[in-house]
């Protein structure tokens, strides 16, 4: 039997798709860069949505966060129009750097393993 998804999970999925489309085509702020929308978590009462995003260039995270927060009203209004929902959650943007930290840890582990192999052979 297929898994049942709650209303908040379905709404989160729709918001994620719409945000990705809107940010790519509807926002012209030069501070944005190219954020990737990783996940959207909508509260059970559908009043709030936490939007997790990442960037290729971590140094631009503060600027991108400021641009997204500045555009949050516009984005919320446009999402409401597209979804035709009575309630559109208030958007809160959160920079998520776990992929960057994961790559850094992986690189550290790889270099430690390579160092151990080099020491074992010499």
Q: Could you tell me the CATH number of the domain that includes residue 19?
A: 3.30.300.20
Instruction: Give buried/exposed letters for 7-26 (b at 16+ CB in 10 A, else e).
Output: ebeebbebbbebbeebbeee
Tokens 């790519």 locate to: 24
On whether residue 76 sits in a domain, the answer given is yes
Q: Do residues 77 and 34 lie in contact, with contact meaning Cβ atoms separated by under 8 Å?
A: no
Domain that holds residue 12: 7-121
On whether residue 114 sits in a domain, the answer given is yes
On whether residue 62 sits in a domain, the answer given is yes
Rounded average pLDDT per 10-residue block, the chain, 122 residues: 72 93 85 88 93 88 92 92 86 87 82 83 74
CB atoms < 10 A from the CB of 117, how many? 10
Number of domains in the chain: 1
pTM of the entire predicted model: 0.77
On whether residue 82 sits in a domain, the answer given is yes
CA distance 52 to 114: 34
């Amino acid at each position: 039997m297929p898994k049942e998804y709650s209303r908040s999970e379905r709404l989160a999925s729709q918001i994620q798709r719409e945000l990705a489309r809107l940010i790519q085509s509807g926002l012209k702020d030069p501070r944005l860069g190219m954020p990737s929308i990783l996940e959207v978590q909508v509260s059970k009462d559908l009043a709030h949505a936490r939007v997790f995003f990442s960037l290729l260039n971590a140094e631009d995270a503060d600027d991108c966060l400021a641009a997204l927060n500045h555009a949050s009203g516009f984005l919320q209004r446009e999402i409401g129009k597209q979804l035709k929902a009575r309630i559109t959650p208030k958007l809160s943007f959160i920079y998520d750097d776990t992929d960057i930290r994961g790559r850094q840890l992986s690189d550290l582990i790889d270099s430690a393993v390579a160092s151990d192999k080099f020491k074992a052979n010499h």
